[in-house]
Amino acid sequence: MVVNKELAKVLENSEIDCLKSRLTAIEGLVGNPMGVEIKTFGKATAFSIKNIPGPSFNTVKGLEDGDEKYIEEIIDFYRQKEIPVRFELTPGHVSSNLLTYLSEKGFYQNDFHTTLYAPTYKAEEVINTDVSIRKLKRDEFDIFGEIYTKGFEMPSFLKNGVAQNNEILYDRKGWTFF
């Protein structure tokens, strides 16, 4: 499986769809207490979740060449929320024109985001007696929150929030936790 522009687009769209599904579920909580907003600008999707200030949920995905005319609107969208703008760019879908435009606006590359992909396997096809893979039960999200926060070296006080923000996806179509 070699990454080409088409596969890069599929992978990027899967990330956009995943984040949109997650944040739409959080937005659906009574009164939208986390302050979720999702807005499209050209081909780009801007995600905002006011009460989780980190970059994972406050980001722009899908920006492509030709979307330069939306950048001021995107900047304004985040400025009104007092959240820094973060663009996640896929190298295959931008050119030096877009990158130069962003640079002129004061943006610069400061890290990388990696997407791992592989063909899907059934759990029983992967044979490793040291590892057990099974579906997570609804009452195990406290364990999920603990593993997640430790795995990403996050402060332990975030464990309950991580558990709650994932448990709301348990019965949502397209989501399965292992």
Q: Are 66 and 90 in contact (CB under 8 A)?
A: no
Q: What's the rounded Cα separation, in Å, for the pair 89 and 112?
A: 9
Cα torsion angle, 17, 23, 26, 31, sign = negative
Instruction: Fill in the DSSP letter of residue 143.
Output: H
25 has pLDDT over 70: yes
> pLDDT by residue (tens digit) across 83-106?
999 999 998 889 899 999 999 999
Determine the average pLDDT of the residues in 24-32. 93
Q: What's the rounded Cα separation, in Å, for the pair 21 and 39?
A: 13
Domain boundaries, the chain: 1-110, 121-178
- Total-model pTM: 0.82
74 has pLDDT over 70: yes
In the sheet with 59-61, reading across from the earlier edge strand, the strands are 36-41, 44-49, 59-61, 87-88
Three-state DSSP at 128 gives coil
> pLDDT by residue (tens digit) across 112-137?
888 888 777 665 666 667 877 789 99
φ, ψ at 171 (rounded to 5°): -95, 5
Q: If residue 161 lies in a helix (H) or strand (E), which one and from where to where?
A: helix 159-167
Q: If residue 149 lies in a helix (H) or strand (E), which one and from where to where?
A: helix 141-151
Q: What's the rounded Cα separation, in Å, for the pair 47 and 58?
A: 5
> pLDDT by residue (tens digit) across 160-173?
989 998 999 999 99
Show contacts of 37-40: CB within 8 Å, 24+ apart: 37/81, 39/77
